Structure 1
Amino acid sequence: MRPIIGITTYVENATWGVWRDLPTTLIPHDYVAAVTLAGGRPVLIPQEDDTDVLRALDGLVLAGGPDLGPEMYGQEPGPHTVVRPERDTAELRLVRAALEMDMPVLGICRGMQLLTVAAGGTLHQHLPDLLGHEKHRPAPGVYGEHDARFEPGSRIATLMGDDLAIRCFHHQGVADPGTLTVTGRAEDGLPEAVEDPGRRFVLGVQWHPEVVRDRRLFGALATAARN
């Protein structure tokens, strides 16, 4: 049987058909397609405080989305920070419960940042202030393209092989990884991958592998969830 992979979701106002601007639980279809192609059975997780859903899952994808609330890592919000407090609360509780169960977890973009905060780490709230450029989010709806470098022997290095190209869209990034290990960086030194070598499968990537249906990363999650 295919492993059941939960995917966290957004709650945003959306418009379709005759319906206009309704609060909607949604996720880009790229995530669903990527999990399916990798051999998993995707299940969307609505934004709620209950973590009992984890008992029905074999693995978890922490999807991208808005900025994390800086109060989660001891900072005040900056002028460029846009948050969804209800999602922060629900997902932090969810990821902590999943980690306690040693459930395989793949964090994507915001999901990597959430893993970092759950591990006691901190974030940079606005990368252009730190790096002096906007290559990680060049324009609305436009992915930044980078060549990453990966730590030899790490899980991400093994999965990516000689393919160093990544596509990202974020203006925040990891400052302190907490108890996680940084295993990938962009050419400007910004962390692009984190792992927890002490767990069965905990991997966070700052880029968007779902967009290209990357079977290496989603396949590794599905394999870990199956075992």
Structure 2
Amino acid sequence: MFETKYYDSFYYVPSPYVDAVRRAGGLPILLPVGEPDWMDWLAIVDGIVVIGGGDIDPDRYGGDTSHDRLAGIDQERDESELSLLRELVKGNEYPTLCICRGMQVLNVALGGTLHEHIPDIHEDNIHQAGDGGWTIQGVTVDPDSFLAEVMKRTDLTTYSGHHQAIKELAPSTKIVAISPDDIIEAIEVPGHPWLVAVQWHPEMSAAEDPSQQRIFDQLVKTAAEYRKRRSNPTRKQTGHGPR
């Protein structure tokens, strides 16, 4: 949520997210944060994308709230997304994709922690340009992971733009991709039918890179199948998610 001289605040979703979902055949719908009955809103959607954004309040994971590089903290968004992901992991089968901040929110929601600023542990931050913009970096995916099955490759070139990273991994998750400097780049939740969380931004290169677009293609395909199962509860799920 942002403020301008014309409006006190507004919500928006950057177009690359929208375009990637539309190319996959999906219809993107923005769910505003702060809704007390957000589970009712989930009834109108068939899959979830938790997108990038500002930093999570370190108080949520016992971090350093005084760090001078914290930016973009939004308490309302933190609360909404943390509660959403806890509920989705607890027992809902919504196909879910978490991107950048989204992966960090998932980790915190399930009991993990974050590095408040990557340069505190790596002098050279290959994950974000000096002006806060994009960098292009390599990522290695576990060949036995669900993510590798979805993307159909394990050696990736990715768009990255983050200054925070997972520190302590949440107990119920597993690492499935890392960067050359050993930053966690993707995690999965074993047992969930379809939940993928990546630290990079697949939407930024999905139009040119089929392996990145496959994440959105598979998300939308699985969401359509989930919709059919919800309308026909006796229908069995096909395929499998993270193991």
Same fold (TM over 0.5): yes
Q: Deviations over 1:176-204 (max 9, x none)?
A: 22121110000000000011121101111
Instruction: Say yes or no: does 1:39 pair with 2:25.
Output: yes
Q: Is the 1:143–1:167 contact (alpha carbons within 8 Å) kept by the matching residues of 2? A: yes
Q: Quick one: distance in 2 between partners of 1:67 and 1:142?
A: 15
SS at match of 2:181: coil
Q: Quick one: distance in 2 between partners of 1:225 and 1:205?
A: 18
Of 198, 203, 221, 1:205 maps to 198
Deviation, structure 1 residue 115: 0.9
Q: Identify, as 1 or 2, the structure richer in strand.
A: 1
Residue type matched to 1:216 in 2?
Answer: R
Q: How many residues align?
A: 213
Q: Is the 2:141–2:154 contact (alpha carbons within 8 Å) kept by the matching residues of 1? A: no
User: For residues 54-133 of structure 1, what are the structure 2 equivalents within 5 Å?
Assistant: 54-77=42-65, 78-82=67-71, 83-99=73-89, 100-133=91-124
User: For residues 150-161 of structure 1, what are the structure 2 equivalents within 5 Å?
Assistant: 150-160=141-151, 161=153
SS at match of 1:76: coil
Q: Quick one: distance in 1 between partners of 2:132 and 2:22?
A: 24
Q: Quick one: distance in 1 between partners of 2:58 and 2:140?
A: 28
Deviation, structure 1 residue 208: 0.6
Q: Quick one: distance in 2 between partners of 1:220 and 1:145?
A: 24
Residue type matched to 1:220 in 2?
Answer: Q
Identify unmatched segments of 5+ residues in structure 1. 1-10
Residue type matched to 2:199 in 1?
Answer: Q
Aligned-residue identity in percent = 36
Q: Quick one: distance in 1 between partners of 2:156 and 2:224?
A: 27
Partner of 1:173: 165
Identify unmatched segments of 5+ residues in structure 2. 207-211, 226-243
Deviation, structure 1 residue 98: 2.4
Instruction: Say yes or no: does 1:190 pair with 2:183.
Output: yes
Instruction: Say yes or no: does 1:225 pair with 2:223.
Output: yes
Q: Quick one: distance in 1 between partners of 2:204 and 2:135?
A: 13
| Structure 1 runs, 4 residues or longer, greater than 4 Å off | none
Q: Is the 1:54–1:98 contact (alpha carbons within 8 Å) kept by the matching residues of 2? A: no
Instruction: Say yes or no: does 1:13 pair with 2:3.
Output: yes
Q: Is the 1:127–1:172 contact (alpha carbons within 8 Å) kept by the matching residues of 2? A: yes
Q: Quick one: distance in 1 between partners of 2:97 and 2:176?
A: 14
Partner of 2:236: none
Structure showing greater Rg: 2
State the TM-score, normalized to the length of structure 1: 0.88
User: RMSD of aligned C-alpha atoms?
Assistant: 1.6
Q: Deviations over 1:155-182 (max 9, x none)?
A: 2222331551011100000112212111
State the TM-score, normalized to the length of structure 2: 0.83
